[in-house]
Chains A and B, each alone.
Chain A
Amino acid sequence: MIKVTVNGVTFEREVEPRLSLADFLRHELGLTGTHVGCEQGVCGACTIILNGDSVRACLCFAVQADGCEIETVEGLGTVDNMDPLQQSFQAHHALQCGFCTPGMLMTGVDLLRKYPLATDAEIREGLSGNLCRCTGYEHVVQAIRAVVEANNGG
């Protein structure tokens, strides 16, 4: 039996050891905002925040998250009350099909917290582990740039 807190709500579930944290969130808790792409840690679509740090939910087993705090894209904001990063993605058209977007957002949250992101090169470097097959990277960089500038008072 594991006990996890996801977006402020505590859940207790019986899990098989080999169940990934990504599949746990989607199949056991019905939180399908976390997307599963490559299942090998390459595409970044399943990025979530675990105990305050971004991680690949496909490279962590649910059983390892016992006692942990998890934030997923569902906890970031709602349609009526979006997070500033989500608002910026909308304003800058930073998504096309949207498959990679939850991973881009959760990665963006951690990047904004940990790095100054003073240059676009630094933002691109930070996003290099998140693949977008629509190749919409330019607008994602612009969306994050706008949040950096807003946070810096500009």
Chain B
Amino acid sequence: MKPPAFEYLAPASLDEAVAALADDEAKVLAGGQSLVPMLNFRLLAPSLLVDINRIPGLDYIEDNGAGGLRVGALTRHYSLETSELVLQRFPILNAAMRYVAHLAIRNRGTIGGSLCHGDPAAELPGLMLLLDAKMKTTQRTIAAADFYQGALETALADDEILTEIQLPALADETGWGFEEFARRSGDFALTAVGATVGEGAARIVVIGAHDTPLRLTAAEALFPDIDAVVAAAQAEVSPNDDLHASADYRRHLVGVLTRRALAAAI
């Protein structure tokens, strides 16, 4: 359970970090809460770790001046969990942070790291899809809807670093619900559903029941007929069978949690 040997670099600027990533066996090290276990299991054997923790100016939660927020990629989960700005602007994000791992992980793990790792059962990738976030990188800006391409697979190039997450304002009076089911507190979700309801329309995202976080557009179109929404949601997901739960059970949870999330959001 020790990682394979690697070279280590802690650059002081993004330019230096990007240059180091030209080595195609290099990986970015942010909070390390997903990467280090993968190294220890030897699922990855990078030749170089580019530690971005020493790069200044990547850890912030700021008002974007238009009712939304800009969040630096190196912002720790604990900062998101305890941010007054997040609570005011995106209470659903505040509520969802309670489900993210444990304090010692939240102290160290970063929003950018979680988003780039892209675990389909993690809360933040699903929340970014639900909230229509944009991912600003060292090269371009990518919509959350285009960011996830498969399990643990994102649109990022090998030498591209996520720098900022841009959250557009929610419409006034937007209701929300976030419902998660996990076997133990802090575990990855077996399934979770986030929903927002505003201006007569619903937006629904499910995590843990598909290869990627999934927006349920077919189900959304049937709102406000809740029974129809729930049936469509269950038809839209393709959950996996694994050690923790069967596909049928996860599909069942999608129905139950969609109903609860919408009830909270309406």
* Interfacial residues, chain A to chain B (CB-CB below 8 A): 16-18, 20, 23, 38-41, 44, 47, 53-56, 58-61, 63-64, 107, 110-111, 114, 124-126, 128-130
Contacts and interface: CB of A to CB of B under 8 A. Distances in A.
Contact of A55 (B39, B40, B107, B186): B107
B1 A54 contact: no
Q: Which 6 A-B pairs have the closest CB atoms?
A: A129-B102, A17-B8, A39-B1, A53-B107, A128-B185, A40-B37
A107 B29 CA distance: 24
Contacts of A107: 103-104
Given A17-B5, A40-B41, A47-B104, 8 more contacts: A18-B6, A53-B104, A53-B108, A54-B104, A55-B107, A63-B10, A110-B107, A129-B102
Contact of A41 (B8, B29, B105, B107): B105
Contacts of B40: 39-40, 58
Contacts of A23: 2
B255 interface: no
Contact of B32 (A53, A60, A110): A60
B1 to A, nearest CB: 4
Identify which of B33, B103, B184 gathers the most chain A CB atoms within 10 Å of its CB: B103
Given A17-B49, A39-B40, A40-B40, A55 B104 contact: yes
A64 B2 contact: no
A54 B103 contact: yes
29 contacts: A17-B6, A17-B8, A18-B3, A18-B39, A23-B2, A39-B1, A39-B2, A41-B33, A41-B36, A41-B105, A44-B104, A47-B104, A53-B78, A53-B108, A54-B107, A58-B36, A59-B32, A59-B108, A60-B36, A61-B8, A61-B36, A61-B49, A114-B103, A128-B184, A128-B185, A128-B186, A129-B101, A129-B186, A130-B102
B36 A55 contact: no
A60 B108 contact: yes
A35 to B, nearest CB: 14
A129 B103 contact: yes
A124 B184 CA distance: 11
Contacts of B2: 18, 20, 23, 39
Interface in B1-52: 1-8, 10, 29, 32-33, 36-37, 39-41, 49, 51
Nearest to A52: B107
A134 to B, nearest CB: 18
Contacts of B49: 17, 61
B53 interface: yes
A124 B102 CA distance: 11
A39 B36 CA distance: 9
Given A40-B1, A125-B185, A129-B186, A56 B7 contact: no
A110 B103 contact: yes
A55 B78 CA distance: 12
Contacts of B32: 59-61, 64
Contacts of B103: 54, 107, 110-111, 114, 126, 129
A72 to B, nearest CB: 14
Contacts of A111: 103
Contact of A59 (B5, B36, B78, B185): B36
A44 B103 CA distance: 10
B25 to A, nearest CB: 14
Identify which of A55, A110, A126 gathers the most chain B CB atoms within 10 Å of its CB: A55
Contacts of A110: 103-104, 107
Contacts of A55: 104, 107-108
Contacts of A125: 185-186
B1 A18 contact: no
Nearest to A23: B2
Contacts of A16: 5
Nearest to B185: A128
